[in-house]
Amino acid sequence: MAIAPVRWVYLALGWTFFGLGVAGIILPVVPATPFMLLALGSFSRSSPRLEAWLLQHRMFGAGLRDWKEHRVIPLRGKLVAWGSMLASLAYMIFWRQPAWWIIALAAALMGYGAWFVARCPSRPPPKPPAPPPPGPEGDSSRDMPPA
C-alpha cells in the first residue's frame, strides 16, 4: 500500500476519474471508459475496498474485470476509439488548421493510441472446459480403450 499522503492523492484522483466517467455516460463528447480505467488504477493504489466495489459495479464491473484480467477492449470500444480519433484529426485539419507540427504531433499520438487499442484482444480467452466428474470407485470402463 502506498504511503499515506500519496494514498490520499490516488483516492482523490480515483473519485475525480470516476465522476468524469459518469459524466461520460451522460455527455456524448466525454468518453467514459478511459476515466473508469483511470479510476480503477487509482483505487487499486489507494483503497482495495473501492477497487473491489468498482470491479463489482453492475454497470462498469464486467468491462473493468475483463480489462484487468485479460487487457480486453471490446470491438465496439475499439471502433468508437478509432472513429473518435479520425474525427478529431479531420476536425483539426479541415476546420482548425493549426501549424503542421501540431497536426503531426496529434497524428503521431493518435497513431500510437490506435496501435495500442488494435493490439488488445476484443474478447476474453475462452474458458477451459471443466474436467469431467470423477467416476464411481471401481469403474474400470475409464481404463478400457474405446471400441
**What is the C-alpha separation between 89 and 48, in angstroms, rounded?**
38
**Residue located via cell numbers 480505467:** 37
Rounded mean pLDDT for each run of 10 residues along the chain, 147 residues in total:
82 96 83 88 95 94 91 88 90 92 94 92 87 69 58
pTM: 0.68
Give the residue from 39, 35, 10 showing the smallest Cα distance to 24.
Answer: 35
- Could you report the per-residue pLDDT of 49-65, keeping only the tens digit for each? 999 999 999 988 988 99
Cell readout for 136 is 464411481
Residue 52 parent element (H or E): helix 48-55
- Could you report the per-residue pLDDT of 110-132, keeping only the tens digit for each? 999 899 999 999 988 888 888 88
**What is the C-alpha separation between 76 and 117, in angstroms, rounded?**
11
